[in-house]
Amino acid sequence: MNYDIIIIGAGIVGCSIARELSSYNGSVVVLEKENDVSVGTTKANSGIAHAGFDAKVGTLKAKFNVLGNKMMPSLSNDLDFPFKQNGAIVLGFEEESLEILKDLLNRGIVSGVERLKIISKDEILKLEPNVNPNVKYGLLAPTSGIVSPYEMAIAYVENASSNGVRFDFNSEVIRIERDKNEYVVTTASNKTYVGKVIINCAGVYSDKIHSLASNKKSPFTVISRKGEYCLLDKMYGDMASHTLFQTPSKLGKGVLVTPTTHGNLLVGPNAQDEVDNANVDTTIEGLKEIWDKASLTMPNLPKRGVITQFAGLRSHLKESDDFIIGFDNELIGFYDVAGIESPGLTAAPAIAKHVSKEVATYLNLGINLHFNPIRKAIPQISALPNEVREKLIKENPLYGHIICRCEVVSEGEIVEAIHRVPGAKDLDGIKRRTRAGMGRCQMGFCTPKIMEILARELHEDIDEITKNGHHSYMVEKR
């Protein structure tokens, strides 16, 4: 198949670029090696829409962070994904912290972050009564927010898809060749795609994808930097209302404690360089480390409130501290979007606007007059007023059958998640789209029911159902 643009990777970067490109007249395909969107770095991070005071002035990180943060409210409205501007506080526990916080404040002001303010211990404890009373100073950033990263990616993808972008999953790119003025991309299942432009959004694999195209060592090297997290029950979600960072000190960058968009409490991450790009195992030491560090912010963090742990990989660049965004100097029509670590999630919407504009100009693409920027999320029975619940169940009785009791998710929502394009194919896909299984019993009760619904709706045998693709089967072959 021939396309104007081939995007490699369906994380938040690939997904957002795909959606922005769908506002132009050009054919776009996204190739993803896994069976769903947002299953790498995008699904496992802090979910913060950073204000933008952290990145060094003048960097791409600072520029796209501040722009992306400003886009978040209207974007979350258009694409209907969970976002809340809850504000952040960087907490300082030592006298020396004040100087560092002032530096961050000035950095933020120069980069264009609004309403930053140094606040006192009393002000902090008034805003956040559970914070360690040994806190001395804080930097308040009211424009910081929280976002559900995988739901944001899913929203982007559904919108891109409805605007004509094609998504091919289980499509690991193994060969990239240049033929005349085009690229020929071959996947592990031996399918070929021909495109004028390749956009490399392959996250922790972006150096490998680059060298597939150049046939030599990539000019940049990705280091997979693992971060581990603990997620707490919604019962403890209101222990913090702001996102609470720690002032970077000689002890390191510290960890955050934050509410999530769904009302849980999240603590983490640490930072550990990994050799294996696929290793997202949590570690005994890592989980202890984040808990100990988070206890500095909040001494009364309830360990019995933890419902799950997870880890994600940041794609950190060895050669640079900044994002790499742009056409390669040597490879014609090859566009890298690499090293998109924090604040990458916040920056993604702005990066996507920028990249799509550059690529559209390069290919001389016109505006897509049929582009519809609006996407609606799957209705959540748990969040609706009674009149709407009643109407919804009347139209589709499956919305009256609750499958996940902890998060109150109905069969209607699960069935819709399977049939959206692109839809959920496994238990984790259902979880990210509907929250079924995200709650305090962690899929204890709903696993058998969701397996059954998946098998029924996908016309598969129940022994073919997986947790997250590949060989992650739930039961033995019959």
Least gap, CB of 466 to another protein (angstroms): 7
Identify the residue among 84, 121, 357, 440 touching another protein (CB under 8 A): 440
Taking residues 154 to 193 in sequence order and writing x for each that binds another protein by CB under 8 A, - otherwise, the string is ----------------------------------------
Residues 6+ apart with CB under 8 A from 472: 426, 466
Residue 426 CB burial class (10 angstroms; 0-12, 13-18, ≥19): buried
32 backbone dihedrals φ, ψ, rounded to 5°: -130, 130
150, 82 contact by CB (below 8 A): no
78, 375 contact by CB (below 8 A): yes
Phi-psi category of residue 2: left, alpha or beta, with phi > 0 → left and psi -120 to 50 → alpha? beta
What is the distance between the alpha carbons of residues 284 and 262, in angstroms, rounded to a whole number? Answer: 27
310 binding another protein? (CB under 8 A): yes
Identify the residue among 109, 174, 383, 475 touching another protein (CB under 8 A): 475
Identify the residue among 221, 249, 283, 368 touching another protein (CB under 8 A): 283
436 binding another protein? (CB under 8 A): no
397 binding another protein? (CB under 8 A): yes
198 vs 451, beta carbon nearer another protein? 451
287 binding another protein? (CB under 8 A): yes
471 binding another protein? (CB under 8 A): yes
Of how many residues is the chain composed? 478
458 binding another protein? (CB under 8 A): no
Identify the residue among 301, 381, 436, 450 touching another protein (CB under 8 A): 381
Identify the residue among 85, 309, 368, 380 touching another protein (CB under 8 A): 309
Residue 366 CB burial class (10 angstroms; 0-12, 13-18, ≥19): exposed
219 binding another protein? (CB under 8 A): no
Catalytic residues: 50
478 binding another protein? (CB under 8 A): yes
**Tokens matching residue 458:** 């996908």
Residue carrying the six token digits 């709706």: 457
235 binding another protein? (CB under 8 A): yes
Least gap, CB of 414 to another protein (angstroms): 14
310 backbone dihedrals φ, ψ, rounded to 5°: -155, 170
476 binding another protein? (CB under 8 A): yes
Residue carrying the six token digits 């014609």: 332
84 vs 467, beta carbon nearer another protein? 467
